Copies of this chain bind each other. A is one copy, B any other.
Amino acid sequence: MADYRVPREDMQFVLQDVFKVDQDWARFEPLAELDFDTAAAIIDEGAKLAETLIAPNCRAADEEGVKFVDGQVTTPKGYKEQFQQLAEGGWVGVTANPEWGGMGLPKSISAQYEEMLCAADISFSLYSGLTAGAIMTLDLHATQELKETYLERMISGEWTGTMCLTEPHCGTDLGIMRTKAVPQDDGSFAISGTKIFITGGEHDLVDNIVHLVLAKLPDAPAGSKGISLFVVPKFLVNEDGTLGERNPVFCGSIEHKMGIHASATCVMNFDGAKGWMVGEPNRGLAAMFTMMNYERLGVGIQGLGAAARSYVNAVEYANDRIQGRGAKATQDQSKDADPLIVHGDIRRMLLTMKAFVEGGRAFSTYVGQQLDIAKYAQDDAERTRADALVALLTPVAKAFLTDTGLEATILGQQVLGGHGFVREWGQEQLVRDCRIAQIYEGTNGIQALDLLGRKVAGSRGELLKPLAEDIGKFLAEGPIAGFEQEYQQLQQGLEMVERATKSVLTKVMQGDENVINGAAVEYLHLIGYVCFAYMWLRMAKTAEPLVAERPYLASKAKTAKFYMARLYPRVHGLLAAIEDGSDSLYLHETGEF
């Protein structure tokens, strides 16, 4: 496998030139001291960790995997040191509240860090990633006392966190969960039930694990409105902050999975474990989702990271491996054959990866920027607008970045031919590790439902407006030279989104109960391709005046051309499918499948 190299230059381009995030920071009081040089230095620290410490161990960690013996989970060799260094660098709390020791960096920066970490090793990234999610939830919803007990230790990386949602009989449909929380005289709750698929539920990296658990109070209403959230530590914490008795929450087994072999996916049994409520009774799902929405961009970035790593490997292989002859002008007669990269189909695969990776990097930064505006802007209207964009684009980021990520990693494997199928080269691991990101944290189908149902139909299309405005404003500035046709394509894409939305909303009004569930995935993809087109044209435009002094940027217009010519036209098939709605999905009787 090629050495992993963090694309510092591209990250800088996206942050500083395309989205000018430092201009936002200057306006936002909590970020006023951050400037781009500082940000670049921070990114570089993370990059060093990713490149020199984490990435080189990724394949060995996959081979070794996590081990489960007598209730204990052992992580692969090197993970403990890696985690310590990550913690010492402050990376567990990269976006966390400075009041409790967090770095308090904006999401636009942490998105870059997350990409590096996921490119280096998705399995490893999850231990700190879930912890960051738990930190955020506690910070937003827990009492001061609970915060004092847990936050500093989690932000420092001394303890890790989990999210316990799924049960054996329910994943997507949490309303039917069975885990119980019985109030105790001391104000705590006794939590009993079984949770599955708990990432980092048990491991040997740190001394204590803080579980955030969804459960039902005895008198809870049925369904998703009767779920409360609890914090349940592996070891109870004494008043003086030392670890006390072992709480009866035990790992019953770990899953054997297609990928992320070095991540402990645990069955967790709560046998009357002591827990404390976080937030309001029966409002637990909402509390958990505050954080999940924030974290969904992070899962999207897992797809991006895997794709970015696969791309580096594939480009190196395509340059090194000689095989077959290219067009006459490109032949090197001093060798038996020409490098793979001269062949059109190899270039098609590499450029598809490049378009998805760099487009995805820009897109995740765009969403990250909106998250920052929604969090930090003083102006209400500005915050509200960013909130709307975030609500719309979060499911797109989660699903589209992982769907394109899987396509990219599969292509990255294909470039290597048989060597891509062999473990030694690392490309197949990226496919296996990327695959889970389409499933967990809400399947991509669920993301699509969230987008089309809750967000678009739920707002009768209103929520699309800020995005359409952003793109419309960009288009109104007029095309750069040679991109007249591509600007028209993007304009047509906006019209297709409008047409698709109208088609679905009309059917909803006509009483079609199935159209949203039936058209959602293709609708999300349509929005995804249009967003990536916007990203690519915006990058091409931003790059144009800078190319002379930064030759690296010359590729932007070229990749934009490729994307618009080869990948973007998929929108036509998607629109046709959306307009079918659910019409062709319910012709079959159940027994006819």
Q: Give A contacts to B, CB under 8 Å.
A: 166, 169-173, 176, 196-197, 255-259, 315, 318-319, 322-324, 326-329, 336-337, 339, 341, 343-351, 354, 406, 410, 413-414, 417-418, 420-424, 428, 431-432, 435-436, 438-440, 443-445, 448-449, 513-522, 554-555, 558-559, 561-562, 565-566, 569-573, 576-577, 580, 582-588, 590, 592-593
Contact = CB atoms under 8 A, between A and B. Distances in A.
26 contacts: A172-B323, A176-B337, A197-B418, A255-B424, A258-B423, A318-B593, A327-B513, A329-B513, A339-B590, A344-B516, A344-B582, A345-B521, A346-B445, A348-B585, A414-B444, A420-B439, A421-B436, A554-B592, A555-B592, A558-B592, A561-B587, A562-B587, A566-B584, A569-B572, A570-B570, A572-B572
B569 A573 contact: yes
A398 B588 CA distance: 30
Given A327-B513, A576-B565, A417 B171 contact: yes
Contacts of A558: 584, 587-588, 592
Contact of A258 (B431, B514, B516): B431
Given A171-B418, A423-B257, A448 B323 contact: no
Given A258-B423, A414-B443, A417-B439, 10 more contacts: A255-B424, A258-B428, A319-B593, A339-B590, A344-B514, A344-B585, A348-B518, A349-B445, A351-B588, A414-B444
A307 to B, nearest CB: 14
B171 A593 contact: no
A334 to B, nearest CB: 14
Question: Do most interface residues of chain A lie in helix, strand or loop, or is the interface mixed?
Answer: helix
Contacts of A577: 565-566, 569
Contacts of A448: 345
A32 to B, nearest CB: 38
A319 B593 CA distance: 10
Contacts of A424: 255-256
A425 to B, nearest CB: 10
A151 to B, nearest CB: 29
B444 A344 contact: no
Contacts of A347: 518, 585-586, 588
B571 A588 contact: no
Contact of A584 (B406, B519, B555, B562): B562
Nearest to A170: B323
B569 A576 contact: yes
Nearest to A347: B585
A67 to B, nearest CB: 16
B176 A336 contact: yes
A167 to B, nearest CB: 11
Given A341-B593, A438-B414, A588-B555, A258 B421 contact: yes
Contacts of A322: 169
A577 to B, nearest CB: 5
A483 to B, nearest CB: 13
Contact of A573 (B323, B324, B573, B593): B573
Contact of A580 (B166, B513, B565): B565
B562 A345 contact: no
Nearest to A341: B590
Contacts of A170: 323, 337
B345 A449 contact: yes
Contact of A435 (B341, B349, B421): B421
A197 B584 CA distance: 44
Q: Which 3 A-B pairs have CB atoms at the shortest separation, nearest pair first?
A: A344-B518, A344-B517, A569-B576
